[in-house]
């Protein structure tokens, strides 16, 4: 496996968040191995968490629709692959058609990714060649530019945790590794019912809360801080906004019950908070964005891409958008084609297992 994750960069972003007003934790800090396991628990045990079931339903029932008929020999890329449980529908279908498949799962936690990739390899054997990439989107996508084959790129259950600008920027960056033959499939949550959202994110079993608060326990464990969560109350809200250039989203934060001060030796900083001060468990305005179809269409357009297909689950919770390059980007690709061969020409981007 190849790791591109820069732990110094993550620490640098952590310090920026802790020294900001209000304080926040970068979203990707949630996904160490423990966080990835807690995310898996949400999928498995939080019955109110509708999104997994809805995305799974779409992939299960429409996998043939998302793979172009004419294509053969597609390479599969999965951005934010997690436990790959939904990806399996696509892997199965591609192996059925092509007999063999090359697969690049990309995710933050190297430990978790390696376990997932090893399990897949055991199951699929020689028909699946896996190049796991432990990386943030940006570094990972920049390396994936070296793959010349036709790609089917999945970005499932993941985009909506980035800030609005980063959703657009990551889509735009992803377009740089596409040709006019490639497809990008990304999913989004279109649930705007406050009740359904609260049931999913403020669940009785406390799965989401444990996942969100893992950032503090991780910091205590890795950076030697001794932040006492009993000195904070946990808050959660759903902000509804249907303006075409915004999204609805979840806001999650802890609030200090009294004045507190903690030293964080691993980061070389102290963290002081006044009673009533908020500490956000995400960057930007919020996380887990919810969208109208118009809002999603605006994001696709802002990223310079073209929407060609929309699949919605039977409960109306999730949508899978199929996007292609616009004509402008296809023409642009001819210009950059020569340069693409230059960087890292003899450099393997990841090691297969
Ligand atoms: C909600 S899970 C979805 C996993 C999987 N795609 C699915 O649908 O089951 C989000 C995944 O995205 C990964 N992720 C979040 N931010 C990321 C980033 N900046 N770069 C790479 N992966 C990221 C997380 O580690 C996590 O595994």
Taking only the tens of pLDDT, the chain with its 353 residues reads: 666 556 788 899 999 999 999 999 988 898 888 998 998 888 888 888 899 999 999 999 999 999 877 667 899 999 999 999 999 999 999 999 999 999 999 998 888 999 999 999 999 999 999 999 999 999 999 999 999 999 999 999 999 988 899 999 999 999 999 999 999 999 999 999 999 998 888 888 899 899 999 999 999 999 999 999 999 999 989 999 999 999 999 999 999 999 999 999 999 999 999 999 999 998 877 789 999 999 999 999 999 999 999 999 999 999 999 999 986 655 554 332 233 333 333 334 556 66
Pick the closest to residue 290 from 172, 191, 167, 144 (CA basis): 191
Q: How far is the CA of 43 from the centre of ligand 1 (A)?
A: 13
Question: Residue 135 CA: which ligand 1 atom is closest?
Answer: 21
Residue among 27, 31, 113 to mutate when testing ligand 1 (max atoms within 8 A of CB): 31
Question: Residue 82 CA: which ligand 1 atom is closest?
Answer: 27
Nearest residue (CA) to ligand 1, atom 23:
80
Structure tokens at 59: 């992939």
Whether residue 105 has its Cβ less than 6 Å from ligand 1: no
Question: Residue 78 CA: which ligand 1 atom is closest?
Answer: 6
The model's pTM is 0.86
Question: Residue 30 CA: which ligand 1 atom is closest?
Answer: 25
Whether residue 283 has its Cβ less than 6 Å from ligand 1: no
Helical segments of the chain, H only: 7-18, 33-45, 50-66, 87-98, 110-124, 137-144, 164-175, 194-201, 207-223, 293-302, 327-340
Whether residue 108 has its Cβ less than 6 Å from ligand 1: yes
Pick the closest to residue 239 from 251, 231, 253 (CA basis): 251
Q: Running DSSP on this structure, what letter comes out for residue 231?
A: G
Q: How far is the CA of 83 from the centre of ligand 1 (A)?
A: 9
How far apart CA 314 and CA 329 sit, in angstroms, is 34
Whether residue 5 has its Cβ less than 6 Å from ligand 1: no
Whether residue 166 has its Cβ less than 6 Å from ligand 1: no
In the block, tokens 């200090």 appear at 256
Residue among 10, 57, 108 to mutate when testing ligand 1 (max atoms within 8 A of CB): 108
How far apart CA 90 and CA 187 sit, in angstroms, is 14
Q: How far is the CA of 248 from the centre of ligand 1 (A)?
A: 20
Whether residue 90 has its Cβ less than 6 Å from ligand 1: no
Whether residue 80 has its Cβ less than 6 Å from ligand 1: yes
């Amino acid at each position: 496996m190849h790791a591109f994750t820069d732990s110094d960069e993550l620490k640098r972003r952590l310090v920026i968040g802790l020294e900001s007003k209000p304080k926040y934790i970068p979203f990707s800090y949630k996904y160490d191995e423990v966080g990835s396991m807690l995310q898996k628990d949400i999928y498995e045990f939080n019955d109110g968490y509708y999104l997994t079931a809805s995305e799974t339903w779409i992939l299960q029932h429409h996998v043939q629709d998302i793979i172009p008929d004419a294509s053969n020999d597609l390479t599969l890329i999965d951005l934010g692959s997690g436990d790959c449980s939904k990806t399996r529908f696509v892997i199965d279908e591609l192996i059925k058609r092509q007999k063999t498949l090359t697969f690049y799962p990309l995710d933050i936690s190297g430990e978790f990714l390696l376990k997932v990739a090893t399990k897949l390899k055991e199951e699929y054997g020689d028909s699946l060649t896996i190049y796991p990439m432990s990386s943030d989107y940006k570094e990972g996508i920049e390396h994936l530019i070296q793959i010349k084959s036709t790609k089917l790129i999945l970005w499932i259950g993941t985009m909506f945790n980035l800030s609005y600008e980063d959703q657009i920027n990551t889509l735009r960056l992803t377009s740089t590794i596409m040709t006019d033959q490639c497809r990008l499939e990304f999913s989004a949550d279109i649930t705007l019912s406050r009740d359904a959202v609260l049931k999913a994110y403020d669940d009785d079993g406390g799965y989401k809360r444990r996942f969100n608060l893992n950032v503090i326990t991780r910091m205590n464990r890795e950076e030697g801080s001794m932040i006492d969560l009993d000195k904070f109350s946990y808050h959660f809200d759903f902000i509804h906004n249907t303006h075409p250039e915004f999204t609805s989203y979840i806001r999650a934060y802890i609030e200090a019950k009294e004045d507190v001060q903690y030293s964080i030796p691993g980061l070389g900083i102290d963290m002081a908070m006044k009673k009533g001060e908020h500490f956000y468990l995400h960057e930007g305005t919020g996380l887990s964005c919810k969208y109208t179809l118009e809002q999603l269409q605006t994001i696709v357009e802002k990223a310079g891409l073209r929407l060609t297909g929309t699949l919605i689950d039977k409960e109306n919770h999730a949508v899978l958008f199929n996007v292609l390059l616009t004509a402008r980007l296809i023409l642009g690709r001819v210009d950059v084609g020569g340069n693409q061969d230059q960087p890292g020409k003899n450099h393997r981007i990841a090691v297969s297992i």
